[in-house]
Amino acid sequence: MIIVTGGAGFIGSCVVRSLNDRGIDDIIIVDNIAETDKWRNMANKRYIKYYNRDEFLEHLPEYAGRVTNVFHLGACSATTERNFDYLYKNNLEYTKTLWKFCADNNASFVYASSAATYGDGSQGFDDKADIDNYLPLNGYGYSKQLFDIWVKKELAAGNKAPRQHAGLKFFNVYGPNEYFKGSMASVIMHGFNQIKERGYIGLFKSYKEGYEDGGQLRDFVYVKDVCNVMMFLMDNPDVSGLFNVGTGKARSFYDLAASVFAALGIDKDIRFIDMPETLRPKYQYFTEAKMDKLREAGYDKPFYSLEEGAKDYVQNYLDKDMRIW
């Protein structure tokens, strides 16, 4: 049996798709759907039971000895969340409980850390580096950092651990099933909607020397690659650690916007807009995942290029009434 938390969300529902495509449907989905439309991400999936996030932990002991893998992808991922008490409980304490369950039941535990733990990037984006000195820029990133540090201390103390434990620092993930993320959806999705609504894409102007307008750089990674990494981990239970999940190649927002127009087969119309003043002091101009560690662990699949990922996403999902994968 496999548990997928966040299984109705963006990455989690894509993981359920990947499991289903392998013929696996002995799956428990945990999420907090409430009045959202995230249920649509579950409607074409096979699973045995859904639990609301707030009710699940009281049922968790019922599955002792029956679970082989936990993919913990459920969290508050809003970088704008201001309620740190909520972040601490939901992103740290909840995750500790699942870790301990996996440790007690000899199960694999793969969880979402975040590239937000790297802070402003001044110390690089190297998953081989010491994590203790990173200073995240927001409460979300800090809550993820706290769990990574807690794991490090648990392992150093020789305490019982899951048979496999892998924390994944996702960079800028985009792709199908992100349709219900609102403002936190990818720039590809927002750009597609802008084109349909007004014919052009608006990108932030640059306020940093050395970067042209729209030239801010991110490591954009397609969700299908993210799922491939998690399937690799399931197939290789001897692989544990903290791993970046990006492409290893930073690309500009201008390139991203151009790839959306190219996927639609229309001439590009990219315009530059003022960045809100409140964003300017903390705005990141560069992220790029170091991918050596994952490669050295044996992951050898190529990643989608930005153009390849945008083409698949736009043509096969966004432009087909936001088809669910």
Which residues are registered as beta bridge partners of 193? none
Residue 90 assigned as binding residue: yes
Q: Is 301 a catalytic residue?
A: no
Which residue among the candidates 47, 111, 134, 140 is catalytic per the annotation?
140
Residue 63 assigned as binding residue: no
Q: Is 96 a catalytic residue?
A: no
Residue 280 assigned as binding residue: no
Residue 38 assigned as binding residue: yes
Residue 179 assigned as binding residue: no
Give the sign of the dihedral formed by CA 273, CA 274, CA 275, CA 278: negative
Which residue among the candidates 96, 100, 152, 181 is catalytic per the annotation?
181
Q: How far apart are the first and last CA of the chain?
A: 22
Distance CA 205, CA 217 (A): 13
Residues 116, 76: contact at Cβ < 8 Å?
A: no
Residue 220 assigned as binding residue: no
Give Dmax over CA atoms of the chain in angstroms. 59
Residues 143, 177: contact at Cβ < 8 Å?
A: no
Residue 11 assigned as binding residue: yes
Residue 316 assigned as binding residue: no
Residue 204 assigned as binding residue: yes
Residue 172 assigned as binding residue: yes
> Which residues contact residue 144 at a Cβ distance below 8 angstroms, ignoring those fewer than 6 apart?
75, 91, 112, 113, 114, 116, 117, 136
Residues 143, 82: contact at Cβ < 8 Å?
A: no
Residue type, 144: K
Residue 144 assigned as binding residue: yes
Residue 244: how many other CB atoms lie within 10 Å: 27
Residue 283 assigned as binding residue: yes
Annotation: binding site for substrate? 172, 183, 190, 204-207, 218, 283
Binding residues for NADP(+): 10-11, 31-32, 38, 53, 73-77, 90, 144, 173, 181
Instruction: Write out the catalytic residue numbers.
Output: 140, 181
Residue numbers in the known binding site are 10-11, 31-32, 38, 53, 73-77, 90, 144, 172-173, 181, 183, 190, 204-207, 218, 283
